[in-house]
């Protein structure tokens, strides 16, 4: 699945119609969640039952009927997705909260399937044919959507962001593998001092996008509370504040994408730490820095490009990788403030480089163990995180 995004250009009346369609989508999803919550225990509520409920909502509410029928089904599918996630967490005995479905308050998108829209012959304009009144809007962008047949477009999503409205096309095409430029093997140790340190001794600088923009973001946030509630100036101040956060988010994504692509393109084996980032951010002293460095985003792009370049990626347990000597295997205790690894065997390396070498060695052991297990027909765990790849590809 390939997603192409275009900036939408239209009139203010069309933007208001898009906002109305987004609010309708939120209304349908929340009603579906309430329908599931109020259903008796013996009643079987599944995806089909929620789709049928969207039909009942179309008969009851006129503004719901104005939205395309498949867009209404897509809204109930969002509700079903949150319900199934809750069920899966309960079945797997996930520790902590199980993610009980909540009512949405800040929906920012409406999704159409294969009806309710039509592309112009030039494929630079799109017309939404339901009764919401969106009409025809321009598509601004350089993506080559004209090279794909219309029947390959499975979803069309209108998204409201801080800097305007966007149209996303989900195209059902097979992502072709691209030949790598090298067949090396590399281990990555992510951190806060450096974005990552690899087993070859290279340190990638941590860009710290949020830290650099923090002063301007805080200034924009203070301006919001200086404006009177309900006034247009307060809305403009909120919009300016949201755009600064959006810029930081895009910088992080572009940085992680670029590095992940370069790493996977040049190596046949990439090893990284299987970190519990959700648990690590509970440390209030480091939470902002950990969120700023975006390790999870980097991991998702690593696994996406691993499939594209036919690279093997292995997530290893990071336990003791910083304390263990990569040369002789001895345990050398050190605190976080100690940045140099010194062992009695004579090995002296940067702490993160030593950890990266240990991570690579663990990945090689896992790879060799998997090949031996496959030889005798024993089932093995998947090294590539398929779920993360699917999330990125959707």
pLDDT 10s digits, 102-139:
999 999 999 999 899 999 888 889 999 999 999 999 99
At residue 380, the pLDDT reads 29
- The answer on 374 and 279 residing in a single domain is yes
d(CA 328, CA 69): 65
At residue 377, the pLDDT reads 31
At residue 387, the pLDDT reads 32
Confidence of residue 392 (pLDDT cuts 50, 70, 90): very low
- The answer on 191 and 161 residing in a single domain is no
Confidence of residue 369 (pLDDT cuts 50, 70, 90): low
At residue 165, the pLDDT reads 94
User: How many structural domains is the chain composed of?
Assistant: 2
- The answer on 194 and 143 residing in a single domain is no
Share of the chain above pLDDT 90, in %: 51
- The answer on 310 and 280 residing in a single domain is yes
Q: How many CB atoms lie within 10 A of CB 250?
A: 13
Sheet (strand 135-140) strand order: 109-112, 153-161, 164-171, 2-9, 135-140, 125-128, 117-119
Q: Is the pLDDT of residue 27 over 90?
A: yes
- The answer on 194 and 124 residing in a single domain is no
Q: Is residue 318 part of a domain?
A: yes
pLDDT 10s digits, 81-107:
999 999 999 999 888 888 999 999 999
d(CA 32, CA 73): 10
Confidence of residue 174 (pLDDT cuts 50, 70, 90): confident
The answer to whether the CB of 308 falls within 8 A of the CB of 177 is yes
d(CA 160, CA 194): 34
Q: Residue 289 maps to which CATH number?
A: 3.30.420
Q: Is residue 223 part of a domain?
A: no
List 204's β-bridge partners, or say none: 196
List 188's β-bridge partners, or say none: 198
Going by the DSSP 8-state scheme, the letter that residue 381 receives in this structure is -
Instruction: Sort residue 14 into left (φ over 0), alpha (ψ -120 to 50) or beta.
Output: alpha
Confidence of residue 67 (pLDDT cuts 50, 70, 90): very high
- The answer on 15 and 92 residing in a single domain is yes
Of the candidate ranges 72-81, 267-276, 329-338, the one whose mean pLDDT is the lowest: 329-338
- The answer on 157 and 194 residing in a single domain is no
Confidence of residue 345 (pLDDT cuts 50, 70, 90): confident
Q: How many CB atoms lie within 10 A of CB 3?
A: 14
Q: What is the mean pLDDT of the chain?
A: 86
Residue-number span of the structural domain to which 323 is assigned:
184-211+251-393
Domain boundary among 143, 171, 199: 171
What string of DSSP letters covers 11-41?
-HHHHHHHHHHHHHHHHHHHHHHHHHHHS-T
- The answer on 131 and 56 residing in a single domain is yes
d(CA 63, CA 68): 11
- Helices and strands, counts by H and E, the chain: 11, 14
At residue 298, the pLDDT reads 92
Domain boundary among 141, 171, 201: 171
At residue 286, the pLDDT reads 87
- The answer on 308 and 193 residing in a single domain is yes
Domain boundary among 140, 171, 202: 171
Q: Is residue 178 part of a domain?
A: no
Confidence of residue 366 (pLDDT cuts 50, 70, 90): confident
Q: Is residue 384 part of a domain?
A: yes
- The answer on 195 and 305 residing in a single domain is yes
Backbone CA torsion sign across 297, 257, 351, 192: negative
- Please state the φ and ψ torsions of residue 324, each to the nearest 5 degrees: -80, 140
Query: What angle, rounded to 10 degrees, do the helices at 232-266 and 295-308 form?
Result: 50
Q: Is residue 236 part of a domain?
A: no
Q: What is the mean pLDDT of residues 290-311?
A: 90
Q: Is residue 316 part of a domain?
A: yes
Element holding 203 (H helix, E strand)? strand 203-205
Report the half-sphere exposure of 170 (CA within 13 A, side-chain side).
Answer: 15
Confidence of residue 391 (pLDDT cuts 50, 70, 90): very low
Q: Is residue 47 part of a domain?
A: yes
At residue 370, the pLDDT reads 56
Q: Is the pLDDT of residue 382 over 60?
A: no
Please name which of 318, 322, 311 lies closest in space to residue 272, comparing C-alpha atoms: 318
Sheet (strand 267-273) strand order: 203-205, 194-198, 184-190, 267-273, 312-316
SS3 assignment, position 245: helix
The answer to whether the CB of 345 falls within 8 A of the CB of 326 is no
* Helix residue spans in 42-189 (DSSP H): 47-60, 62-65, 69-91
CA 379 to centroid of chain Cα atoms:
30
Of the candidate ranges 22-26, 209-213, 311-315, 370-374, the one whose mean pLDDT is the lowest: 370-374
At residue 221, the pLDDT reads 94
pLDDT 10s digits, 303-328:
989 988 888 998 888 888 888 888 88
Q: Is residue 75 part of a domain?
A: yes
- The answer on 271 and 152 residing in a single domain is no
Going by the DSSP 8-state scheme, the letter that residue 271 receives in this structure is E
The answer to whether the CB of 293 falls within 8 A of the CB of 211 is no
Burial bucket for residue 63 (CB in 10 Å: 0-12, 13-18, 19+): middle
Predicted TM-score (pTM) of the model is 0.81
At residue 373, the pLDDT reads 33
Rounded to 10 degrees, what is the CA torsion of 46, 47, 52, 53? 70
Confidence of residue 381 (pLDDT cuts 50, 70, 90): very low
Specify the pairing of strand 267-273 against strand 184-190. Answer: parallel
At residue 394, the pLDDT reads 39
- The answer on 158 and 188 residing in a single domain is no
């Amino acid at each position: 699945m390939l997603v192409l995004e275009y900036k939408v250009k239209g009139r203010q009346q069309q933007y208001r119609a898009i906002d109305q369609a987004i609010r309708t989508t939120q209304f349908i999803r929340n009603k579906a969640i309430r329908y599931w919550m109020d259903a008796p225990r013996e009643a079987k509520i599944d995806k089909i039952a929620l789709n049928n409920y969207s039909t009942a909502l179309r008969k009851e509410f006129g503004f719901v009927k104005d939205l395309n029928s498949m867009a209404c089904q897509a809204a109930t599918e969002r509700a079903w997705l949150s319900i199934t996630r809750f069920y899966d967490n309960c079945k797997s005995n996930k520790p902590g909260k199980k993610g009980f479905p909540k009512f949405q308050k800040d929906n920012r998108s409406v999704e159409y399937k294969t009806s309710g829209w039509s592309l112009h012959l030039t494929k630079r304009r799109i017309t939404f044919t339901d009764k919401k009144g969106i009409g025809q809007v321009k598509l601004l962008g350089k993506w080559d959507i004209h090279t794909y047949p219309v029947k390959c477009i499975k979803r069309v999503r209108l998204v409201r962001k801080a800097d305007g409205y966007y149209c996303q096309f989900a195209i059902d095409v097979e992502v072709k593998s691209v030949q790598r430029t090298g067949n090396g093997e590399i281990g990555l140790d992510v951190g806060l001092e450096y974005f990552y340190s690899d087993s070859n001794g290279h340190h990638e600088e941590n860009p710290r996008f949020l830290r650099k923009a923090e002063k301007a973001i805080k200034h924009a946030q203070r301006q919001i509370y200086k404006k009177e509630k309900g006034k247009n100036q307060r809305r403009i101040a909120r919009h300016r504040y949201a755009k600064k956060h959006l810029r930081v988010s895009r910088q992080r994504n572009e940085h992680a994408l670029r590095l992940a692509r370069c790493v996977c393109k040049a190596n046949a084996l990439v090893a990284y730490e299987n970190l519990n980032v959700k648990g690590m951010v509970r440390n209030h002293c480091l939470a902002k820095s950990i969120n700023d460095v975006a390790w999870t985003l980097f991991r998702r792009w690593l696994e996406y490009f691993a499939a594209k370049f036919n690279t093997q990626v292995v997530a290893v347990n990071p336990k003791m990788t910083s304390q263990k000597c990569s040369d002789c295997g001895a345990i050398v205790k050190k605190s976080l403030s100690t940045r140099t690894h010194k062992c009695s065997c004579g090995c002296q390396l940067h702490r993160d480089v030593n950890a990266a070498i240990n991570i690579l060695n663990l990945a090689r052991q896992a790879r060799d163990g998997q090949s031996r297990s496959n030889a005798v027909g024993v089932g093995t765990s998947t090294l590539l995180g398929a779920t993360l790849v699917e999330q990125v590809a959707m």
